[in-house]
A and B are shown apart, each in its own frame.
Chain A
Amino acid sequence: MNNFFTASFLVGLFASTIRMATPLILATLGESFSERSGILNLGIEGIMIFGALAGFVTTYFTHSLWFGVFAATFSGFLFGLLMAFLVVTLGLNQHVSGLGITIFASGLAYYVYRAIIGSPTIPATIKAFDTLKIPGLWKIPFLGPILFDQYALTYIAVILVIVSGYIFFKTSFGLSLRSVGENPEAADAVGVDVYKMRYIALMIGGALMGMSGAFFTLAQFNMFIFDIVAGRGWVAIALVIFANWIPSRVFWGALLFGGVDALGLRLQGTAINIPFQYFLMMPYILTIIVLIFIARNASYPSALLKPYRRE
């Protein structure tokens, strides 16, 4: 217990908080794009699992981590396209379509893994990303190792938070996107192509979810394990509500949950005599508790879940 709350413990805790937050940031941004356009994408969990697989397998064969990231992102993009066909073109129920994509994409990921890698006794591994130390900055005492000794994907995630916020609130594209999610009839009346906007939003969103999946297999771990995403897609769905569909708040929300994850991992390693499963449960319990407090005041996009059919 005496190494608790020392400087090195805190540096480690905060650094791993940001690390654990990374996939949540990417996935939640992805879901924010979808929901801002009026589509709930419950395919998120499966798209992340498939992204984890696509990233791993691509890197396994090409030995290029960035090819892996690209493959994962592209696979997410394609699942976003599939989702768009189902809920935008056909106007199917969004809940069930999304769950269908999750069941399909996760099943396909396991299927492809078994078909290509098999089930070796020693799991197949790749050489995962090293952290990228920002020259000069990472030597700043305390803050340096927390903020500037992270994976490249983490920096990308932070940049994407800023970019997404800019897109949503400072561009005409963002205005169209939000209008399609709030009032598609009015958006259509002023010449916004509702179908096209929703397709684009779902494809961008899917790409971010796929990239999020790659973080698990290419950075956090160096292999594909079957329960690797472990419901973080569902946590992201809750985080979108928590963040009120605003990217900067996505960042803070993801940090909060990343922190609980990181703290749980660290407490497992201490002498505290609590079964590790209780620490694994904490992020999910915290998510539900937070939702209880914020659900009443959440301002859902008005057209969420409503298919749009042009007369």
Chain B
Amino acid sequence: MSLISFKLEKRTPPSWWFRMLMPIMAVIISLAISSIFLLALRKNPFTAFYYLFYGGLGTKFAFLEMLVKATPLILTGIAVSIAFLAKYWNIGAEGQLYAGALLATWVGIQNFNLSPFFYVSLVIIAGFVGGGVWSFIPAYLKAKFKVDDVVTTLLMNYIMIYFVSAILTGPWRNPVSMWPESVNIAENARLIQLVPRSRVHIGFLIAVAIVFVAYFIVKKTKLGFEIRATGSNSKAANFLGINTLKTIIIASVLSGGVAGLAGVSEVAGVHYHLIHNLSPGYGYSGIVIAMLGGLNPFGVLFAALYFSVIITGAQMMSRSVGIPPYIADVIQGITLIVMLAMLLLFEYKISIRRGK
């Protein structure tokens, strides 16, 4: 049928430098593909990308703002990668982020008379519990009733976002505000600023710490082994005596809990109150970040920083060159697809032949 055919042969696992190189190649290729859409608007891609990276890295302000946005992205990226390692398709990080934000706000507006350290810890735990519980539901439905995880996690995003919107226009509405938003959380419940006169808060360091914790859990503990075994071959894992259903439920709760922390970062670190558009899709970006990071926590850290540059810089690029900021979403979609295609090189040697 075709003039050219692909032949795939299983290859030996690639070396570490090849694995490091692959996401970088994916980034370059996807930027090259994205420039088609810039050229379509008769914009010079090099000028556009200059402003994209300048707007995300070029000034002190841009750099700090990039760290602010990187905080939830690191967390949703880690959240998604924990679930995906178990081949549990948690596409619900967006809803889990809101669930975490909801419970964290609830604790934060109680004005407890606690020292900041304890109060902030309590808010963080609340966020983890909120996201974890919201994520537990679809995992339980999968284990108990075989309900497809993709569909439930996705639909639960919409349910949670409508719920937050309902509660903000109803009982939680701040009476003195024009917008549907909650009252501010207590001063001693807020994540402290890291750099004066900027929005960077200690949540960034917490997110980086979570990267180390996630690495330790995934690579060094029995639970991590069970998660990876369930994901790579659940039949074999069962044979080894691993309770794969239980493993999936634990992975989903960890995943949702970490996504909930992204909600804490936005409520307790950035806005100090709950709003209905708390996240511009950080949960979905988490999927792209997890894949670009090769489901490795340190890979996720770098992938989150990269996309934070893109998302922050897209605003600057939009103002300077007149390119719609949605190019950031286009780049994310293309990067996800390109990275996935690159993974083929991981597993197979591809020889292209002419003729049959």
Contact = CB atoms under 8 A, between A and B. Distances in A.
Interface of A: 42, 46, 86, 89-93, 95-97, 99-108, 110-111, 114-115, 193, 196, 230-231, 234-235, 237-238, 241, 275, 277-278, 280-281, 284-285, 287-288, 291-292, 295-296, 298, 309
Interface of B: 1, 6, 8, 37, 41, 89, 91, 141, 145-148, 150-152, 154-159, 162-163, 165-166, 169-170, 284, 287-288, 291, 323-330, 332-334, 336-337, 340-341, 343-344
Contacts of B151: 234, 237-238, 241, 287-288, 291
Nearest to A46: B333
A100 B333 contact: yes
Contacts of B323: 115
Given A234-B151, A235-B155, A237-B150, A281 B163 contact: yes
Given A108-B37, A231-B155, A275-B166, A103 B284 contact: yes
B155 A295 contact: no
B158 A231 contact: yes
A224 to B, nearest CB: 13
Nearest to A290: B147
Contacts of A100: 288, 333-334, 336-337, 340
Contacts of B170: 275
Contacts of B37: 108, 111
A92 B155 contact: no
Contacts of A93: 340
A95 B155 contact: no
Contacts of A237: 148, 150-151, 154
Contacts of B157: 231
Given A231-B155, A275-B170, A288-B156, A111 B330 contact: yes
A194 to B, nearest CB: 12
B163 A96 contact: no
Contact of A111 (B6, B150, B324): B324
A288 B155 contact: yes
B83 to A, nearest CB: 11
B154 A234 contact: yes
Nearest to A118: B324
Contact of B147 (A110, A281, A291, A309): A291
Contact of A107 (B165, B330, B344): B330
Contacts of A91: 8, 344
Given A100-B337, A110-B326, 14 more contacts: A86-B337, A96-B291, A96-B340, A102-B333, A104-B336, A106-B329, A108-B329, A111-B326, A114-B324, A231-B158, A241-B151, A275-B169, A288-B155, A292-B147
Contacts of A241: 148, 151
10 contacts: A96-B336, A100-B337, A103-B288, A104-B337, A107-B326, A230-B158, A281-B163, A291-B145, A291-B151, A296-B146
Given A115-B41, A292-B145, A104 B150 contact: no
B333 A277 contact: no
B169 A277 contact: yes
Given A231-B154, A235-B155, A89 B6 contact: yes
**Chain A binding surface SS class:** helix
B334 to A, nearest CB: 6
A108 B153 CA distance: 24
A274 to B, nearest CB: 9
B165 A277 contact: yes
A104 B284 CA distance: 12
A204 to B, nearest CB: 19
A219 B100 CA distance: 38
B337 A97 contact: yes
Nearest to A309: B8
Contacts of A196: 1
A115 B340 contact: no
B344 A95 contact: no
Contacts of A90: 341, 344
Nearest to B290: A96
B150 A42 contact: yes
A231 B284 CA distance: 13
Contact of A108 (B150, B166, B330): B330
Nearest to A235: B155
B318 to A, nearest CB: 9
A200 to B, nearest CB: 13
9 A-B pairs closest in CB distance: A104-B333, A107-B329, A114-B324, A277-B166, A103-B333, A100-B336, A100-B337, A110-B326, A111-B326
Contact of B145 (A95, A193, A275, A295): A295
Contacts of A101: 333, 337
Nearest to B160: A281
**Residue among B158, B166, B332, B341 with most chain A CB within 10 A:** B158
Given A108-B37, A278-B166, A114 B336 contact: no
A115 B287 contact: no
Contacts of A295: 141, 145-148
B307 to A, nearest CB: 12
Contact of B162 (A105, A106, A280, A292): A280
B287 A99 contact: yes
A8 to B, nearest CB: 29
A304 to B, nearest CB: 11
Nearest to A82: B337
Nearest to B318: A114
Contacts of A287: 151, 155
A237 to B, nearest CB: 5
Contacts of B330: 104, 107-108, 111
A305 to B, nearest CB: 11
B324 A110 contact: yes
A291 B163 contact: no
A110 B148 contact: no
B145 A296 contact: yes
